[in-house]
Every structure is written in C-alpha cells, then in structure tokens.
Chain A
Amino acid sequence: MAYRAHCLICTGTGCVAGGSFNLRKTLEAEIAKRGLDREIQVITTGCQGFCAEGPIMIVQPDGVFYCRVEERDVPAIVEEHLLKGRPVKKLLYTPPTEKAPIPALKDIPFFAKQKLIVLRNRGLIDPDRIEDYIAVDGYTALGKALTQMTPEGIVLEIKRSGLRGRGGGGFPAGIKWETCRHAGQVRGVAPVVICNADEGDPGAFMDRSIIESDPHSVVEGMIIAARGIGASEGFVYIRHEYPLARQRLQLALDHAREFGLLGKNILGAGMDFDIEIREGAGAFVCGESTALMASLEGKLGEPRAKYIHTVEHGYQDRPSNLNNVETYANVPLIILRGADWFASMGTGDVKENPWNGSSGTKVFSLVGKINNTGLIEVPMGISLREIIFDIGGGIPKGRKFKAVQTGGPSGGCLPEEKLDMAVDFDSLTEAGSMMGSGGMIVMDEQTCMVDVARYFIAFLTEESCGKCTPCREGLKTMLDVLTRIGDGKGRMEDLGLLEEMGAVMQDCCLCALGTSAPNPVLSTLQYFRHEYEAHIRDKKCPGGVCKELITYGIDPAKCDGCHACVRACSTAAIMGEVKKVHTLDVHKCIKCGACIEVCRRDAITRT
C-alpha cells in the first residue's frame, strides 16, 4: 500500500532520551484518531546526527525538518501539517545566528555541506527492518562479491580504494586484509574477522550512531571482509554502555541469518560465516587490538608487545583481522561502486599506494563549545574552518574560538592558526594531533588548556592497565605536575620536565595507549605555552577554570538583579534584593559556578 506521507521519528539514543518512543505512540494514536492511518506512516529511524536539537522528526516527501518535538506538539502537527499541508512554524529549526526558520532539511547548513557515504541511510530507513536496508540496495555488494569477484579480487579492490582504518591508526585496510589472508593460507588456520565497536574515545559516538542507524551496513562489510580473507567466524566487540546499539545489531544478525546472509552456504555460494556479539565492560585499553583479543578470550584486557602481529597470531592464536565499525561500513559501497570512485574523494593519489593520501569521507562527532553539535560526515581534505564555522555554525554566545581537540586521549589540541589545514590522516599527525576515531571537541575562550591536558592525563592514568612502568609511572608523575600547575604551585622547570617525560614515554611504552598518551600535554605546550606560563608566573587561569586561581564576583554594570543566581547558590554567598545589583561574598563562595549557568546577562566574573 502506498502512503501519502511518512513521518520519520529519530530513535537514536539522544532523541530517545528526549522521549521519542512516547512521541511515536502519541503520533500514531493521533493519526489513527483522525482516520489518517491508511495515508500516513510513522517510521522510526536511527540517529540523524543533530542530537542536540532532538527529538527530531522529518516529514516526507516534503522534507520538512522538525526539532525539539514533544508529545504535546502532536495535535498541531497532525492538524496543521498532515491535514492542511502547512508546516508547524514553531517546531522548525532556526540557526542560532539567524532569525528566520529553515523548513527543509536540505537547506539547513549543518546538513548541506556534509557528504554521506557511511551514513548514507541515516534517517531514511528503519534500522530494525532488513527489508528497508535491502530496498536501498543493501546486500547487493555482497551478492556482487560472492558471484562476480574472487576473494583476491575483493582484497585488491579495497586496497586500491585507499581505505584506511577509521578506528585510530589509519592503517590501510586492504594491506591488513591481504596479510591476514596470507597468514591463514600459510598456516592453514582459518582467520577470524573482528569489529571494534568499543568506542573508547570519551566524547565520540560515531560507531554507536552507525550501528544504531544502519547496523546492516556493518554486517555486510564484515561478511565481505570474511569472504576476502577466508574467515568463517566473526565477532563484534561492543561496549556495554550501548544497549540500544547492541540490541539493534543483534536483531540485524538474526534477520541476516533468516535471509541466508549469515550461516552455512551464504547465498548458495558455498561460503560459511557467522558473527557473534561480545560485550566489553568499560575499559579504554580494551580498544587496543591485543587487549581486545585477550578480552574476547575472557582474559584480562591487557595489551602485549606487538612484535607478534595479531593479523598472524590474534584471537585464540588464529590470524585475526580487526577493523573499526566505520571501516567496515565503508566496504559495501566500495565494492558496489568501485575503488576508483572511492579513491576520487579525499586527498592524495592512493590507487598505487594507500599510504599516499586519505580517500573517502570521515565521520566526526562535533561537540563541545559549538552551536551545532552532532554527528557529521565530510570528505577527507575539508578544512577545520569549514567544519567548525560552516557546518558547526561557530561558537555559541559570540565567544572566541580557542582550540579544537581531535584524536581523543591520544590526540592533541590545535589552535586558530591551524584552522585552514586540510583534515586528513597525515596532516593531523604532522600538526601534533591525530585523526583518531573521529572525536572533534571545540573549545572556546572559557576553556583552560592546562585543565584539558590534566583531564586527559587523569583519564589515561585511570585507564592505563599498569603493566608497563613508563606508562604507569610516567602518567602519574605528569598528573602530579599538571595538578600542581593548575593549583598555582607550578615552577617554570615543570614545563621542561613534562616535555622530557613525554619523549621518554613516546619511546618506551608497551602499547599505543602509552606512546600516544603525552600528546595532549605536548600539543598544548606547543600551541598554548603562554597559558601554562600564566598559571605558573602570574598565578592566573585565563580560561577561568582552575579554582585555586580564580575569584568570583559580580559585574555591577551587567547585573539587573533578577535573583536567578541567588536561588542557584547553594551556600548563600550571593545576596541582594530583586531588581538591585547583587553582591557576592567570596568567603562563602565555593566556586561551583551554578550562578554562571543561570545568569542570562553574563554578569558573573571570574578573575
């Protein structure tokens, strides 16, 4: 039956938190009540990428984009839009820098500059229905790989596409597949393919979103990889904090099995392969390949030295091919449209040598102090400025941009001078950061770079497995030094000490957690040394974050006496009558910042 219109409700984690499952029920009930249920269909989709404006709903075929939709808006949507064809104005999206709302999704700047390859199906299909995926050419690439290509041909195609791993290191997937396939043949042991969905980078949710919105693309990618490599068994290692993603993935695997796409004799082509889900339980180091495989075996997730490569001796000593979720999700389209098509996007000429550039697109989670937070997919080679200012809409409240952090705890912070840099694997590394898995955290003038460095080092200190000394002790000492600087008790010599320790750790740690751990410190020292010096020499925190170095106050010129801060203050440090300038007692103030969060006039000062 053909429907006249479709209401696509986002049921990604962000929007679910905003109540989108209830929204669906209410909308369906209202539609039925008005007798429209044969004309209008309600569909739930995965994350649309614009979670900060959720819950999100799109009405097709008009392409109208609604944000912050609540249950009580439902009657208006049905009455005005679905019955009378007039979009409900108050639910349309208005960019923070504009006055007029933008009705159509395609016209919203956040979406307009993106290029969707991995996220091609986001918000278009119901992730719980394999039929939806098949309707948009899903599993066609698998059919092609099984019937028209040899396993060697599959591996070669991926190699020529230049696809590099999206999980952190940027290792060319084709070369990894080739080595793994070879190891399996030489040793006569069937390899395994593993998908890394541990997503340990704190502040990133690409993998979660891909699985939640299009789980079959990952499954299809894994089956094709297994065919190329000659594997009969596959695993997805997913973190347990992602229950919705796990549930959707499980359903996808069950459906794929029912459709003969997993199991024995896949598509009648004589291939046997199945995938099992395994849960991680929240350890950052388990995203590292050797630790991940130990954890898969039910052992402690501790890394081992890498001179024995996991592609040859990995899970249960079998040749093991580990790739990230996004890496696998790229595979079906490369097979379907060809390596040349993929290699034509991005930087460098990768067809002869995948190390020569970065092809394709990259998904980033664009978050922090930015107007449009969300999940974006952009072509490799785009500039940081385009990402932050065109797609991201710049910094909120007209504040100044200070830095952008990429690469998670292994990455670094880049300053304004680097904004015109092209984003690809090699230029990010050269600038002292890295691509990492795709976290991109924007910081404004109210962020303290010493605090950011300390934050990452504290994170890594907790997450270091403690097996090797340079990492365990180096991180602890770095944390002490950074804490000291943040407390205003640092010495100028500390900066040299940090750099020296960083260099030792880069050389001596056992795994990449340790060797990359100094990056947040070294990159902030490189680009924001003056902030460290301000903490040490002037005993000032320019970002107004480090508690020991700031005093709160009220700017009498800005305060209009609205009493909001008086109500928010839990220690009664702020006094004053309504409509009269308030005062702050620094002896009672615990510097919690609750007042700043509620002040509408920016009248609270930190000096």
Chain B
Amino acid sequence: MHIDPAKVDAIIQRHGRKREHLIAMLLECQEEFTHLPEPVLQRVSEQVEVPLPSVLGIATFFRAFSLKPVGRYPAHICMGTACHVKGAPRLLEAFERELKILRGQTTDDLLFSINTVNCLGCCGLAPAVTVGKDVHGKLKQADVPRILKKYRPKEA
C-alpha cells in the first residue's frame, strides 16, 4: 500500500510533535491508513524523535492498534462482562462461521475483519457488536447474516 508521508507529517504537526500526544497521533494515523504499516511508525519515530522500538512498543501495547491491514468494515465483537453473560462468545463464533475467518483475521476481499473489544459502553444493548461505525445491539446468532449483508456490495 502506498503511504503518503505528507499525510503522516500533517497529523504529527497537528499534535505539535509532542511525545505526550503519541497515542493520539497513532490513532489518527490508523484512521487514515486503517492500520499502522511500518513506514508510518518509522516516520512518526523520526519526526517525534522517539526511538522506533518505543513507538512499536506503544503500537503493540494498546489493543486499539493493528499492525496488519483490517477490513473496510471491521467487526468488533464486545467481550465485556455484560455481553459475555448474554452469549458473546457464541456470537463471536457465529461471525467467525459466517465470514469463514477467525478473530484477528481479515476476509480475502478486504471487506471484513473480526476483532474483540472489552465493552463498547452500551451494555444495556448486550450482546453488542460494531461493524464499521455502526453499533448493533441485542443480537442473536441468527441475525448475523442479515447484518453482514448490509455491508456487502449489492449483487449485480
């Protein structure tokens, strides 16, 4: 994938190149490039003057970051306690079965990926899942195909 260094620089500039803003910069970079490829980490390291291993440390310490490409519509299955007792582990398996990938993987067409999160903060809607930016709550396994269909390109 092509990385435009100017885009990375703009993000770094916005945060005044401050080390304290490393997490925020990386989050924005990830938003821009869907994941954190090595050239981005390299650029951040040079510009913010933090050694690459430290940048890599942050990028692997926090759950929100991904070093691998993720799908256009990442599915985040909530594994928080409220969702757990309402069947989240089985819901995760339903997504895995339907998309034929495992958690942490991306479909070949780069449309979906599956990951887990620890509470989306809408526990009243448990079990909850986000696909792209949308929250889907009170899900049953049987709902999964219908939900994913919304994001699939319409058949020609």
The residues of A with any CB-CB pair to B shorter than 8 Å are 13-14, 16-18, 50-52, 54, 199-205, 208, 240-242, 278-284, 295-301, 365, 367-369, 373-375, 405, 408, 439, 441, 443, 447, 452, 455-456, 459, 463, 465, 567-568, 570, 592-594, 597-598
* Residues on the B chain within 8 Å of A598, using CB: 140, 142
Contact between B140 and A204, CB atoms less than 8 A apart: no
Residues of B within 8 A of A452 (CB): 84-85
Question: Could you give, for residues 123-156 of chain B, a 1 whenever the CB lies within 8 Å of some chain A CB and a 0 otherwise?
Answer: 1111010000011111011100000000000000
CA distance A373 to B123 in the complex (A): 8
With beta carbons under 8 angstroms apart, the residue of B23, B93, B126 that contacts A279 is B23
**Closest residue of B by beta carbon distance from A409:** B81
Which of A54, A299, A568 counts the most chain B CB atoms within 10 A? Answer: A299
**Within 8 Å of chain A (Cβ to Cβ): is B118?**
yes
Contact A14 B137 (CB under 8 A): yes
The 0/1 profile, CB within 8 Å of A marked 1, for residues 87-120 of chain B is: 1001001100100000000000000000001111
The answer to whether A405 and B62 have CB atoms under 8 Å apart is no
CB distance from B23 to the nearest CB of A (A): 5
- Residues from chain A with a CB closer than 8 A to the CB of B119 are 199, 201-205, 241
Bound-complex Cα distance A408 to B140 (A) = 25
B41 within 8 Å of A (CB atoms)? no
Asked if residues B81 and A594 are in contact (CB atoms below 8 Å), the reply is no
| Assembly CA distance A101 to B68 (angstroms) | 51
CB distance from B132 to the nearest CB of A (A): 13
Let me know if B122 and A203 touch, CB within 8 A.
no
Q: Is the CB of A51 within 8 A of B125?
A: yes
Closest residue of chain B to A199 (Cβ to Cβ) is: B121
A200 touches B137 (CB 8 A): no
Q: From A571, which residue of chain B is reached at the shortest CB distance?
A: B97
Q: How far is the CA of A568 from the CA of B140 in the complex (A)?
A: 10
Q: Of B50, B86, B87, B134, which one neighbours A298 at CB under 8 angstroms?
A: B50
Partner of A281, one of B23, B79, B86, B140: B23
Q: Is the CB of A295 within 8 A of B117?
A: no
Q: Are A278 and B121 in contact (CB under 8 A)?
A: no
Q: Residue B7 at the A interface, CB < 8 A?
A: no
Is the CB–CB distance between B81 and A368 below 8 Å? Answer: yes
Assembled-state Cα–Cα distance A374/B82 (Å): 11
Known: A280-B23, A281-B63, A594-B141. 5 other contacts (CB 8 A): A204-B119, A205-B119, A278-B20, A278-B21, A368-B86
Question: When chains A and B are docked, how far (Å) is the Cα of A299 from the Cα of B58?
Answer: 7
Q: Do residues B20 and A298 form an inter-chain contact, with CB atoms below 8 A?
A: yes
List residues of B whose CB falls within 8 A of some A CB. Answer: 18-24, 26-27, 50, 54, 57-58, 61-65, 79-87, 90, 93-94, 97, 117-126, 128, 134-138, 140-142
Nearest first, the 10 closest Cβ-Cβ pairs linking A and B are A203-B81, A51-B124, A281-B62, A202-B80, A17-B135, A282-B63, A367-B82, A298-B19, A594-B141, A281-B64
Given the known A-B contacts A51-B125, A441-B82, are A297 and B97 also in contact in the complex, defined by CB atoms under 8 Å?
no
How far apart sit A301 and B128, CA to CA, in the bound complex (Å)?
27
Q: Cβ of B94: which chain A residues have Cβ within 8 Å of it?
A: 570, 592, 594
Known contacts A439-B81, A597-B140; decide if A281 and B26 are in contact (CB<8 Å): yes
Residues of B within 8 A of A369 (CB): 85-86
Q: How far is the CA of A581 from the CA of B1 in the complex (A)?
A: 56
Given A17-B135, A283-B63, A369-B85, does the pair A241, B120 have CB atoms closer than 8 Å?
yes
Complex CA gap A515/B73 in Å reads 39
Select one of A284, A367, A592 contacting B124, CB under 8 A.
A367
Assuming A281-B23, A284-B118, is B93 touching A592 (CB within 8 A)?
yes
- Give complex CA distance A593, B50 in Å: 49
- Give 8 CB contacts A-B under 8 Å: A13-B122, A202-B81, A203-B80, A203-B123, A205-B119, A284-B118, A594-B141, A594-B142
What separation, in Å, do the CA atoms of A201 and B122 have in the docked complex? 13
- Knowing A281-B62, A368-B82, A369-B85, the reply to whether A13 touches B27 (Cβ < 8 A) is no
Contact (Cβ within 8 A) B121 A13: yes
**With A17-B137, A203-B123 known to touch, is A283 a contact of B61 (CB < 8 Å)?**
yes
> Whole-angstrom distance from the CB of A408 to the nearest CB of chain B?
7
Asked whether A374 lies within 8 Å of B121 as measured between CB atoms, the reply is no
Chain B residue numbers with a CB within 8 Å of A18 are: 137
Q: Shortest beta-carbon distance, A51 to chain B, in Å? A: 3
Known contacts A14-B122, A367-B123, A593-B90; A441 and B61 CB within 8 A of each other: no
Known: A284-B118, A592-B90. A365 touches B123 (CB 8 A): yes
A300 touches B61 (CB 8 A): yes
Known: A14-B137, A202-B118, A283-B63. A570 touches B97 (CB 8 A): yes
The reply to whether A280 and B62 contact each other, CB–CB distance below 8 Å, is: yes
> Which residue of chain B is the closest to A53 with respect to CB atoms?
B124
- In the bound complex, residues from chain A placing their C-beta under 8 Å from that of B57 are 300
Smallest CB separation, B85 vs chain A (Å): 5
- Chain B residues in 8 Å Cβ range of A16: 135
Residues of A contacting B134 in the complex (Cβ-Cβ under 8 angstroms): 17
Closest to A564 in B: B142
Nearest residue, chain A, Cβ from B58? A300
- Knowing A203-B119, A278-B23, A283-B62, say if A373 contacts B50 (CB, 8 Å): no
